Protein backbone atom coordinates (compact mmCIF):
# COMPACT_ATOMS: atom_id res chain seq x y z
CA UNK A 1 0.00 0.00 0.00
CA UNK A 2 1.28 3.48 -0.69
CA UNK A 3 -0.34 6.73 0.45
CA UNK A 4 -0.34 9.94 -1.53
CA UNK A 5 2.20 12.11 0.26
CA UNK A 6 3.30 13.93 -2.88
CA UNK A 7 5.78 16.71 -2.09
CA UNK A 8 5.39 16.39 1.71
CA UNK A 9 8.57 17.34 3.57
CA UNK A 10 9.31 14.58 6.10
CA UNK A 11 12.04 14.13 8.70
CA UNK A 12 12.70 10.61 10.04
CA UNK A 13 15.16 10.16 12.90
CA UNK A 14 17.23 6.98 13.06
CA UNK A 15 16.57 6.31 9.39
CA UNK A 16 19.93 4.74 8.58
CA UNK A 17 18.69 1.25 9.52
CA UNK A 18 15.76 -0.87 10.60
CA UNK A 19 12.29 0.61 11.04
CA UNK A 20 13.45 4.17 10.26
CA UNK A 21 14.98 3.14 6.92
CA UNK A 22 11.75 1.33 6.00
CA UNK A 23 9.73 4.44 6.93
CA UNK A 24 12.00 6.69 4.84
CA UNK A 25 11.64 4.36 1.84
CA UNK A 26 7.87 4.09 2.12
CA UNK A 27 7.43 7.85 2.55
CA UNK A 28 9.56 8.46 -0.56
CA UNK A 29 7.65 5.75 -2.45
CA UNK A 30 4.52 7.75 -1.61
CA UNK A 31 5.97 10.92 -3.14
CA UNK A 32 7.49 12.56 -0.06
CA UNK A 33 10.82 14.38 0.23
CA UNK A 34 12.73 12.82 3.11
CA UNK A 35 15.40 14.04 5.51
CA UNK A 36 17.21 10.89 6.69
CA UNK A 37 18.66 11.50 10.14
CA UNK A 38 21.36 9.16 11.46
CA UNK A 39 23.58 8.89 14.52
CA UNK A 40 26.88 7.33 13.48
CA UNK A 41 26.24 5.16 10.44
CA UNK A 42 26.88 7.54 7.53
CA UNK A 43 27.41 4.78 4.96
CA UNK A 44 24.06 3.21 5.83
CA UNK A 45 22.29 6.59 5.70
CA UNK A 46 23.87 7.33 2.30
CA UNK A 47 22.72 3.98 0.96
CA UNK A 48 19.16 4.67 2.17
CA UNK A 49 19.23 8.02 0.33
CA UNK A 50 20.51 6.33 -2.84
CA UNK A 51 17.64 3.84 -2.68
CA UNK A 52 14.93 6.53 -2.50
CA UNK A 53 12.89 7.45 -5.56
CA UNK A 54 12.49 11.16 -6.34
CA UNK A 55 14.78 14.11 -5.58
CA UNK A 56 15.47 16.59 -2.78
CA UNK A 57 16.26 14.01 -0.08
CA UNK A 58 19.00 14.77 2.41
CA UNK A 59 20.95 13.25 5.32
CA UNK A 60 21.45 14.90 8.72
CA UNK A 61 23.81 13.65 11.37
CA UNK A 62 23.21 14.24 15.09
CA UNK A 63 23.97 12.25 18.21
CA UNK A 64 20.64 12.28 20.05
CA UNK A 65 22.30 11.34 23.31
CA UNK A 66 22.87 15.12 23.47
CA UNK A 67 19.32 16.57 23.56
CA UNK A 68 20.65 20.14 23.54
CA UNK A 69 21.70 19.53 19.90
CA UNK A 70 18.48 17.83 18.77
CA UNK A 71 16.62 20.98 17.68
CA UNK A 72 19.29 21.57 15.02
CA UNK A 73 18.00 18.49 13.18
CA UNK A 74 14.62 20.17 12.68
CA UNK A 75 16.25 23.50 11.77
CA UNK A 76 18.46 21.89 9.09
CA UNK A 77 15.67 19.74 7.66
CA UNK A 78 13.10 22.54 7.47
CA UNK A 79 15.48 25.12 6.02
CA UNK A 80 16.80 22.70 3.38
CA UNK A 81 13.35 21.37 2.41
CA UNK A 82 11.62 24.76 2.78
CA UNK A 83 9.03 23.41 5.27
CA UNK A 84 8.35 20.43 7.54
CA UNK A 85 5.10 18.52 7.14
CA UNK A 86 5.92 15.32 9.03
CA UNK A 87 8.31 14.49 11.88
CA UNK A 88 8.85 10.83 12.74
CA UNK A 89 10.71 10.36 16.02
CA UNK A 90 12.01 6.85 15.43
CA UNK A 91 15.61 6.77 16.72
CA UNK A 92 15.89 4.72 19.89
CA UNK A 93 18.17 2.50 21.95
CA UNK A 94 17.70 -0.54 24.15
CA UNK A 95 20.39 -1.78 26.52
CA UNK A 96 19.70 -4.27 29.31
CA UNK A 97 20.21 -3.21 32.95
CA UNK A 98 18.56 -5.77 35.27
CA UNK A 99 17.90 -3.87 38.52
CA UNK A 100 19.67 -6.26 40.86
CA UNK A 101 22.70 -6.97 38.66
CA UNK A 102 24.14 -3.48 38.25
CA UNK A 103 25.63 -0.87 40.55
CA UNK A 104 23.70 2.32 41.33
CA UNK A 105 26.17 4.25 39.17
CA UNK A 106 25.60 1.93 36.21
CA UNK A 107 21.84 1.99 36.81
CA UNK A 108 21.80 5.81 36.76
CA UNK A 109 24.08 6.01 33.74
CA UNK A 110 21.86 3.61 31.83
CA UNK A 111 18.68 5.50 32.76
CA UNK A 112 20.23 8.83 31.74
CA UNK A 113 21.50 7.51 28.42
CA UNK A 114 18.25 5.80 27.43
CA UNK A 115 16.00 8.68 28.46
CA UNK A 116 18.19 11.17 26.55
CA UNK A 117 17.83 9.33 23.22
CA UNK A 118 14.35 7.83 23.60
CA UNK A 119 12.47 10.63 25.33
CA UNK A 120 14.26 13.94 25.90
CA UNK A 121 15.62 14.36 22.36
CA UNK A 122 12.22 13.49 20.87
CA UNK A 123 10.69 16.12 23.18
CA UNK A 124 13.15 18.72 21.85
CA UNK A 125 12.48 17.63 18.26
CA UNK A 126 8.71 17.87 18.87
CA UNK A 127 9.01 21.39 20.24
CA UNK A 128 11.19 22.58 17.35
CA UNK A 129 8.92 20.89 14.79
CA UNK A 130 5.76 22.28 16.38
CA UNK A 131 7.11 25.83 16.00
CA UNK A 132 7.79 25.32 12.29
CA UNK A 133 4.48 23.53 11.73
CA UNK A 134 2.45 26.17 13.59
CA UNK A 135 3.97 28.91 11.42
CA UNK A 136 3.19 27.04 8.21
CA UNK A 137 -0.37 26.10 9.22
CA UNK A 138 -0.11 22.48 10.36
CA UNK A 139 1.77 19.19 10.34
CA UNK A 140 2.06 15.68 11.74
CA UNK A 141 4.26 14.23 14.47
CA UNK A 142 4.55 10.45 14.78
CA UNK A 143 6.51 9.00 17.71
CA UNK A 144 7.67 5.39 17.65
CA UNK A 145 6.95 3.96 21.08
CA UNK A 146 6.78 0.32 22.10
CA UNK A 147 4.61 -2.52 23.38
CA UNK A 148 7.13 -2.61 26.23
CA UNK A 149 5.53 0.50 27.72
CA UNK A 150 2.44 -1.60 28.48
CA UNK A 151 3.79 -5.10 28.90
CA UNK A 152 6.85 -4.23 30.98
CA UNK A 153 10.58 -4.44 30.28
CA UNK A 154 12.10 -6.44 33.16
CA UNK A 155 15.60 -6.32 31.65
CA UNK A 156 15.45 -2.63 30.79
CA UNK A 157 12.99 -0.64 32.86
CA UNK A 158 14.37 2.67 31.56
CA UNK A 159 13.41 1.60 28.04
CA UNK A 160 9.85 0.78 29.11
CA UNK A 161 9.60 4.07 31.01
CA UNK A 162 11.01 6.06 28.10
CA UNK A 163 8.41 4.60 25.75
CA UNK A 164 5.56 5.13 28.25
CA UNK A 165 6.77 8.73 28.50
CA UNK A 166 6.81 9.04 24.71
CA UNK A 167 3.24 7.74 24.49
CA UNK A 168 2.09 10.16 27.18
CA UNK A 169 3.93 13.10 25.60
CA UNK A 170 2.28 12.30 22.25
CA UNK A 171 -1.16 12.41 23.86
CA UNK A 172 -0.43 15.67 25.68
CA UNK A 173 0.93 17.32 22.54
CA UNK A 174 -2.04 16.13 20.50
CA UNK A 175 -4.24 18.18 22.83
CA UNK A 176 -1.83 21.11 23.09
CA UNK A 177 -1.27 21.44 19.34
CA UNK A 178 -4.66 20.50 17.88
CA UNK A 179 -5.75 24.12 17.50
CA UNK A 180 -2.65 24.69 15.34
CA UNK A 181 -3.72 21.87 13.00
CA UNK A 182 -0.86 19.68 14.21
CA UNK A 183 -1.79 16.03 14.79
CA UNK A 184 0.34 13.84 17.04
CA UNK A 185 0.41 10.03 17.24
CA UNK A 186 2.38 7.23 18.84
CA UNK A 187 2.97 3.83 17.27
CA UNK A 188 3.66 0.93 19.65
CA UNK A 189 5.30 -2.03 17.89
CA UNK A 190 5.98 -5.40 19.47
CA UNK A 191 9.15 -7.17 18.34
CA UNK A 192 10.32 -6.16 14.85
CA UNK A 193 12.99 -7.86 12.70
CA UNK A 194 15.83 -5.32 13.04
CA UNK A 195 19.34 -5.06 14.48
CA UNK A 196 17.83 -4.02 17.82
CA UNK A 197 15.99 -7.33 18.23
CA UNK A 198 18.35 -9.60 16.27
CA UNK A 199 20.34 -11.13 19.11
CA UNK A 200 17.16 -12.04 21.02
CA UNK A 201 15.34 -13.33 17.95
CA UNK A 202 18.37 -15.45 16.98
CA UNK A 203 18.77 -16.81 20.53
CA UNK A 204 17.11 -19.77 22.21
CA UNK A 205 14.33 -17.36 23.22
CA UNK A 206 13.50 -16.59 19.56
CA UNK A 207 10.83 -19.28 19.05
CA UNK A 208 8.97 -18.28 22.23
CA UNK A 209 9.05 -14.63 21.15
CA UNK A 210 7.62 -15.47 17.73
CA UNK A 211 4.94 -17.61 19.41
CA UNK A 212 3.72 -14.57 21.38
CA UNK A 213 1.71 -13.79 18.25
CA UNK A 214 -0.72 -16.37 16.88
CA UNK A 215 0.84 -15.55 13.48
CA UNK A 216 4.00 -17.15 14.96
CA UNK A 217 6.28 -14.37 13.78
CA UNK A 218 7.37 -10.86 14.64
CA UNK A 219 6.71 -7.75 12.54
CA UNK A 220 8.66 -6.75 9.45
CA UNK A 221 9.91 -3.12 9.49
CA UNK A 222 7.70 -2.40 6.46
CA UNK A 223 4.59 -3.25 8.52
CA UNK A 224 5.41 -0.45 10.95
CA UNK A 225 6.24 1.86 8.02
CA UNK A 226 2.80 1.25 6.46
CA UNK A 227 1.11 2.46 9.64
CA UNK A 228 3.35 5.53 9.85
CA UNK A 229 2.58 6.45 6.23
CA UNK A 230 -1.14 6.14 6.94
CA UNK A 231 -0.79 8.38 10.01
CA UNK A 232 1.05 10.93 7.85
CA UNK A 233 -1.79 10.93 5.32
CA UNK A 234 -4.92 13.11 5.21
CA UNK A 235 -7.29 10.35 6.32
CA UNK A 236 -5.70 9.91 9.76
CA UNK A 237 -6.35 13.46 10.97
CA UNK A 238 -9.03 12.63 13.54
CA UNK A 239 -6.98 9.77 15.01
CA UNK A 240 -4.79 12.39 16.68
CA UNK A 241 -3.81 11.42 20.22
CA UNK A 242 -3.97 7.74 19.34
CA UNK A 243 -1.42 5.09 20.32
CA UNK A 244 -1.52 2.48 17.58
CA UNK A 245 -0.45 -1.09 18.40
CA UNK A 246 1.50 -3.03 15.77
CA UNK A 247 2.14 -6.28 17.62
CA UNK A 248 0.27 -9.12 15.89
CA UNK A 249 -2.06 -9.45 18.91
CA UNK A 250 0.93 -10.57 20.99
CA UNK A 251 -0.22 -8.24 23.77
CA UNK A 252 -3.75 -6.92 24.13
CA UNK A 253 -4.13 -3.91 26.38
CA UNK A 254 -7.39 -2.55 27.69
N1 LIG B 1 13.03 -3.66 16.86
C2 LIG B 1 12.07 -3.83 17.75
O3 LIG B 1 11.77 -4.99 18.13
C4 LIG B 1 11.30 -2.65 18.27
C5 LIG B 1 10.12 -2.89 19.00
C6 LIG B 1 9.38 -1.82 19.50
C7 LIG B 1 9.83 -0.51 19.28
N8 LIG B 1 10.99 -0.31 18.59
C9 LIG B 1 11.42 1.09 18.41
O10 LIG B 1 11.51 1.39 17.04
C11 LIG B 1 12.53 2.36 16.83
C12 LIG B 1 13.48 1.87 15.76
O13 LIG B 1 14.05 0.65 16.21
P14 LIG B 1 14.92 -0.31 15.28
O15 LIG B 1 14.63 -1.68 15.72
O16 LIG B 1 14.78 0.05 13.86
O17 LIG B 1 16.39 0.08 15.80
P18 LIG B 1 17.82 -0.16 15.16
O19 LIG B 1 17.75 -1.11 14.05
O20 LIG B 1 18.72 -0.43 16.31
O21 LIG B 1 18.17 1.32 14.57
C22 LIG B 1 18.27 2.38 15.47
C23 LIG B 1 18.35 3.70 14.72
O24 LIG B 1 18.44 4.75 15.69
C25 LIG B 1 19.63 5.50 15.48
N26 LIG B 1 20.24 5.87 16.75
C27 LIG B 1 20.53 5.06 17.80
N28 LIG B 1 21.15 5.76 18.76
C29 LIG B 1 21.26 7.04 18.32
C30 LIG B 1 21.82 8.23 18.84
N31 LIG B 1 22.44 8.27 20.05
N32 LIG B 1 21.76 9.36 18.10
C33 LIG B 1 21.17 9.34 16.90
N34 LIG B 1 20.63 8.25 16.33
C35 LIG B 1 20.68 7.11 17.04
C36 LIG B 1 20.55 4.59 14.70
O37 LIG B 1 21.44 5.43 13.92
P38 LIG B 1 22.96 4.98 13.54
O39 LIG B 1 22.95 3.52 13.22
O40 LIG B 1 23.29 5.84 12.37
O41 LIG B 1 23.79 5.29 14.73
C42 LIG B 1 19.57 3.81 13.83
O43 LIG B 1 19.24 4.51 12.66
C44 LIG B 1 13.18 2.59 18.19
O45 LIG B 1 12.65 3.74 18.80
C46 LIG B 1 12.80 1.36 18.98
O47 LIG B 1 12.78 1.58 20.35
C48 LIG B 1 11.72 -1.33 18.07
Using alpha carbons, list the distances in angstroms from residue 45 to 58, 98, 101, 147, 166.
9, 32, 36, 27, 25
* Active site (annotated) includes residue 38: no
Ligand 1 site, residue 19, Cβ cutoff 6 A: yes
**Of the candidates 188, 182, 145, which has an alpha carbon nearest to the alpha carbon of residue 165?**
145
Q: Domain segments of the chain: what residues?
A: 9-246
- Digits of tens for pLDDT over the chain (254 positions)? 557 899 999 999 999 999 999 999 999 999 999 999 999 999 999 999 999 999 999 999 999 999 999 999 999 999 999 999 999 999 999 999 999 999 999 999 999 999 999 999 999 999 999 999 999 999 999 999 999 999 999 999 999 999 999 999 999 999 999 999 999 999 999 999 999 999 999 999 999 999 999 999 999 999 999 999 999 999 999 999 999 999 999 999 98
Residue of 38, 94, 150, 159 marked active site: 159
| Total Cβ atoms within 10 A of residue 224 | 26
Partners of residue 42 on adjacent β-strands: none
Contact criterion met (CB below 8 Å) for 125 and 72: no
CA dihedral for 229, 171, 120, 136, sign (positive or negative): positive
Ligand 1 atom closest to residue 159's alpha carbon, by position in its atom list = 47
Instruction: List the one residue out of 103, 123, 173, 118 whose CA is nearest residue 148.
Output: 118
Contact 16 CB / ligand 1 (< 6 Å): yes
pTM of the model: 0.98
Mutate to test the pocket of ligand 1, among 25, 69, 91 (most ligand atoms within 8 A of CB): 91
Q: What is the dihedral of CA 235, 239, 243, 247, to 10 degrees?
A: -40
CA of 250 from ligand 1 middle (Å) equals 21
Q: Which CATH homologous superfamily contains domain 9-246?
A: NAD(P)-binding Rossmann-like Domain (3.40.50.720)
Amino acid sequence: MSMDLQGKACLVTGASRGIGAAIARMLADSGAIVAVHYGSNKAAADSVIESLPGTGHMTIRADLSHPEDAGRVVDEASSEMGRLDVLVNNAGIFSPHPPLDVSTEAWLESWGGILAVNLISPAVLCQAAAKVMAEQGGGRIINIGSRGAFRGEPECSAYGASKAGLHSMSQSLAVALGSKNIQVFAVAPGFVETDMAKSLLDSDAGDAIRAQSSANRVARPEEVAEVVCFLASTGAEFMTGGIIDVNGASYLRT
